[in-house]
Structure 1
Amino acid sequence: MKSSNTKTIVFVTGAFVSNSGWNPWKAYFEAKGYTTYAPAWPFKDAPAAELRKRQPNDTDLAALTLTEVIDHYANFVKSLPEKPIIIGHSLGGLITQVLVNRDLAAAGVAIHSVPPQGIIPYEFSFLKAGYKVLGLFSSLKKTYLMSLADWQYAFTNGMSLEDQIKSYEENTIPESKTVGRGGLGSAAKVDFKKPHVPLLLTSGDKDNIIPASLNTRNFKAYKANGSVLEYKEFPGRNHYVLGQPTWTEDADYILEWLDRN
């Protein structure tokens, strides 16, 4: 049965940003006949501006773990009448890979995915863009909010200052340092040898925080077992790929890929 026969999509949000970033994607796929969902993480179901007002003393969010976020999405997916297509971005891409590994998806698309456990992210740009969320020199009881300067480097490099500021105000929210650390542990484990439903990994050649080379190693970690596995690198994409003017080209490619698989 092709994944395209499944008419439900669950979008999985990454770290640092509001789930509202999926709204244009939801509208795009709903216009193609899909039913779509983009559930917020626990303790993030509020507008970005409101969540920023809670910084840094949102103790519930600060205590949130990656395991809890993954289970939150797993339970949501299990509540649906059919296995959905799962599409995730960044840490949401990692969560997508985990949920595919758990046999909870009809197909999976991991966009600029944080790599699973065992794939060492040694790229300098990754370390520069992402180390602060680990909270190595600060309290885990306080949340982390990416500064505009960090947002410009990690997400919106190459964009105009006006667009960088606008995207920051619309999307950026506090993050749990505990979740960030979880990406280094067993919660992020994927069995690369296990057969799986069709899985597409995408990357962008301008992405600083999840560079294409890291996505390539993620893709190559999977072992050939007859499962559909594809990789696509898009030119000109930074980590704000979901909101760049080119996002419809990415969505078009994903839709065509789903139709093929």
Structure 2
Amino acid sequence: MPSSKPVVFVHGLWIHADAWESWAELYRAAGYEPIAPGWPGDSRTVAMTRQNPAALANRGIGEITESHLKVIAGLDAKPIVVGHSFGGLIAQKILASGHAAAAVAVDPGQIKGVKPLPFAQIRSAFPVLSKPGNKKRAVALTEKQFRYAFGNAIPKEESDALFARWAIPGPGRPLFEASAANFSKNSPAAVDTGKSDRGPLLVIGGGKDHTVPEVVAKAAYKLYAHSSAITDYQSFPDRGHSLVFDHGWREVADFTLAWLRRQGL
């Protein structure tokens, strides 16, 4: 493995970038140079972000992707990009654009072409999509909503603790963009899944995920069938949407590191 390979962690909706801190420590110990830059409008800390939700309002998939590409442009080498939820969608876009050496998409947000729409996914997104005006606003989940969307596969006490530690308001625009992707000719949720001259991609699904049910993650993986580039899939059957920052995060992180080693990265 090349020494000090950069790794860019991309968080998803409603979670602060600092939730990657355990992954960053693990990757750093494995010889990588990890960074978790956050979305445009994110403040440096969870508390500061909660105090200024207006800074997050009306940020879309395109703007979030471009902000990460600007970070990548300042690196010494093409990074590995690891994304969770909408961060997984963005990781796929960055990989397809040729700006990443490899990507890991954990419970990735729905890209254009994915057709399954399970009830659990609708219910998880309902706090945003129920009000059209939320497209231009930042929306925060309640503790109960977080429990359904993220913490359904872990004890309630742990879900509540994770909510208190990491939850932040999130822009509504990405959810509206993803939900309308299959009806939009130029959707920002589109990814060139047929591209063959890209780096390896690992898609990970959680079997108990409500926000991105595994059928959605599998559907995204299947869209890559016409690409000759390496595309792998891994399921964690008993895990929900909190799988990258709850008590079982290490199992998922260790799997991604082993997969990267197999790719020679």
Q: Please give the range of the TM-score, normalised by the shorter of the 2 chains.
A: over 0.9
Aligned alpha-carbon RMSD (Å) = 1.6
Cα offset, 1:141, TM superposition: 4.4
Kept after mapping to 2: 8 A contact 1:134/1:178: no
- Are 1:246 and 2:248 an aligned pair? yes
Kept after mapping to 2: 8 A contact 1:133/1:175: no
- Are 1:237 and 2:239 an aligned pair? yes
Residues paired across the two proteins, number: 255
Cα offset, 1:30, TM superposition: 0.3
Residues 121 and 52 of structure 1: CA distance in aligned 2, closer, same or farther (over 3 Å): farther
Tell me which residue corresponds to 2:2: 5
TM-score, normalising length: structure 2 = 0.91
Residues 107 and 139 of structure 1: CA distance in aligned 2, closer, same or farther (over 3 Å): closer
**CA offsets, 1:50-81, max 9 Å, x none?**
322334xx1x3212222110100111112211
Matches within 5 A, 1:58-77: 58=54, 60-77=55-72
Tell me which residue corresponds to 1:212: 214
Letter in 1 for 2:193: F
Query: 5+ unaligned residues in a row in structure 2: which ranges?
Result: 182-186
Secondary structure of the residue that 1:9 maps to in structure 2?
Answer: strand
Query: What CA distance in whole angstroms lies between the structure 1 residues aligned with 2:67 and 2:30?
Result: 27
Residues 226 and 138 of structure 1: CA distance in aligned 2, closer, same or farther (over 3 Å): closer
Kept after mapping to 2: 8 A contact 1:140/1:177: yes
Query: What CA distance in whole angstroms lies between the structure 2 residues aligned with 1:245 and 1:41?
Result: 24
Query: What CA distance in whole angstroms lies between the structure 1 residues aligned with 2:160 and 2:24?
Result: 24
Residues 235 and 141 of structure 1: CA distance in aligned 2, closer, same or farther (over 3 Å): closer
Query: What CA distance in whole angstroms lies between the structure 1 residues aligned with 2:102 and 2:132?
Result: 39
- Are 1:160 and 2:155 an aligned pair? yes
Cα offset, 1:96, TM superposition: 0.3
Tell me which residue corresponds to 2:190: 189
Query: What CA distance in whole angstroms lies between the structure 2 residues aligned with 1:181 and 1:31?
Result: 38
Tell me which residue corresponds to 2:113: 118
Cα offset, 1:236, TM superposition: 1.6
- Are 1:53 and 2:51 an aligned pair? yes
- Are 1:35 and 2:37 an aligned pair? no
Residues 162 and 108 of structure 1: CA distance in aligned 2, closer, same or farther (over 3 Å): same
Kept after mapping to 1: 8 A contact 2:134/2:173: no
Letter in 2 for 1:254: T
Q: Which of 96, 104, 107 lines up with 1:109 in the alignment?
A: 104
Tell me which residue corresponds to 2:142: 147
Letter in 2 for 1:5: P
Percent sequence identity over aligned pairs = 30
Tell me which residue corresponds to 2:230: 228
Kept after mapping to 2: 8 A contact 1:63/1:176: yes
**CA offsets, 1:165-209, max 9 Å, x none?**
110011111111123222234111111211121000001111111
TM-score, normalising length: structure 1 = 0.92
**CA offsets, 1:182-240, max 9 Å, x none?**
22341111112111210000011111111111111110011333211100001321100
Residues 139 and 224 of structure 1: CA distance in aligned 2, closer, same or farther (over 3 Å): closer
Kept after mapping to 1: 8 A contact 2:150/2:242: yes
Cα offset, 1:137, TM superposition: 4.2
Residues 141 and 224 of structure 1: CA distance in aligned 2, closer, same or farther (over 3 Å): closer
Secondary structure of the residue that 1:188 maps to in structure 2?
Answer: coil
Secondary structure of the residue that 1:241 maps to in structure 2?
Answer: coil
Cα offset, 1:133, TM superposition: 2.2
Moved over 4 A (4+): none
